Copies of this chain bind each other. A is one copy, B any other.
Amino acid sequence: MPYDPSAFPPFAVTVDLVVLTVRRHSLCALAVRRGEPPFQGRWALPGGFVRADEDLSQAAARELAEETGLCAHDPSVPAQDNGAHLEQLATYGDPKRDPRMRVVSVAHLALAPDLPAPRAGGDASNARWAPVEELLQQGGYGRDGEPVAPLAFDHALILADGVERARSKIEYSSLATAFCPPEFTVGELRRVYEAVWGVALDPRNFHRKVTGTPGFLVPTGGTTTRQGGRPAQLFRAGGATLLNPPMLRPEV
């Protein structure tokens, strides 16, 4: 394993972001339109080069702030305030993943509450929240009848990995609260699970589970009727980060 400084090939290192949120009862990811070749005009995940003096997590947090205005929290702490949860996802380094040069991309996963429309360099038409199924389908037509091109580079693969990570991680952690505003009801949290997993959950069993797990939710005392119906208790995320026993994802 020689470390001769002239004996290694130079790489470009980037961070790409899978930013997920729940809007209108469906799991959405942030996509930006590419302004230059390759894949000009196609949708891609936000991202950019890691700077010379920057740690990977710093670079990811910087990109996240540039694209969304979100302030990333320490990965060991569940999301609070208007910050987002941010964690490293995986690294992608196929020699041909970028046609121009050798690029290794360290993908990160960010989970955020529902946000206003995104801004990409101030240009709203070049950034959007899109349902993940729409971004992941290969070709075909979107909900507006407009033809859909696959994501640029290997970003469909990265997005699929990020979605799978989020789906499995809310099973055994309190991460689903990262999709919620600072104060939320049990029903709102349940709708997050339903959107991320794409299933329907029994409201009564869900309520029993989350309120019965010590440290998961702490009541704030307030109530709200913003979802209609009977007023619901408001909660904040508690200190517990691990759910034991886990929330069970229904089969099939």
- A187 CB, nearest partner CB in chain B, Å: 27
CB neighbours (8 Å) of A55 from chain B are: 93-95
Q: Please determine whether A1 and B56 come into contact, CB atoms closer than 8 angstroms.
A: no
Q: Please determine whether A95 and B3 come into contact, CB atoms closer than 8 angstroms.
A: no
Known: A1-B47, A1-B48, A3-B100. A56 touches B93 (CB 8 A): yes
Q: Please determine whether B52 and A102 come into contact, CB atoms closer than 8 angstroms.
A: yes
Is A12 located at the chain interface by the 8 A CB criterion?
yes
CB neighbours (8 Å) of A10 from chain B are: 10-12
Q: CB < 8 Å: which of B13, B47, B100 contacts A93?
A: B13
Q: Please determine whether B12 and A54 come into contact, CB atoms closer than 8 angstroms.
A: no
Is A106 located at the chain interface by the 8 A CB criterion?
yes
Is A123 located at the chain interface by the 8 A CB criterion?
no
Is A124 located at the chain interface by the 8 A CB criterion?
no
A interface bracket (residues with beta carbon within 8 Å of B): 35 or more
Q: Which of A1-40 contact B (CB under 8 A)?
A: 1-3, 5, 7-13, 36
Rounded to whole angstroms, the CA-CA distance of A3 and B51 in the bound complex is 13
Rounded to whole angstroms, the CA-CA distance of A95 and B54 in the bound complex is 6
Rounded to whole angstroms, the CA-CA distance of A100 and B10 in the bound complex is 15
Q: Please determine whether B88 and A53 come into contact, CB atoms closer than 8 angstroms.
A: no
Q: Please determine whether B88 and A106 come into contact, CB atoms closer than 8 angstroms.
A: no
Is A206 located at the chain interface by the 8 A CB criterion?
no
CB neighbours (8 Å) of A115 from chain B are: none
Is A101 located at the chain interface by the 8 A CB criterion?
yes
Is A90 located at the chain interface by the 8 A CB criterion?
yes
Rounded to whole angstroms, the CA-CA distance of A112 and B3 in the bound complex is 27
Q: CB < 8 Å: which of B49, B88, B90 contacts A8?
A: B49
CB neighbours (8 Å) of A88 from chain B are: 90-91
Q: Please determine whether A104 and B104 come into contact, CB atoms closer than 8 angstroms.
A: yes
Q: Please determine whether B49 and A104 come into contact, CB atoms closer than 8 angstroms.
A: no
Residue in chain B with minimal CB distance to A121: B1
CB neighbours (8 Å) of A56 from chain B are: 91-94, 104
CB neighbours (8 Å) of A102 from chain B are: 52
CB neighbours (8 Å) of A7 from chain B are: 49
- A177 CB, nearest partner CB in chain B, Å: 21
Please give 17 more A-B residue pairs, beta carbons under 8 A apart, in addition to A5-B100, A88-B90, A88-B91.
A1-B46, A1-B49, A2-B36, A5-B101, A8-B49, A9-B49, A10-B11, A11-B11, A13-B13, A50-B93, A53-B95, A55-B94, A56-B91, A56-B92, A91-B91, A91-B106, A104-B104
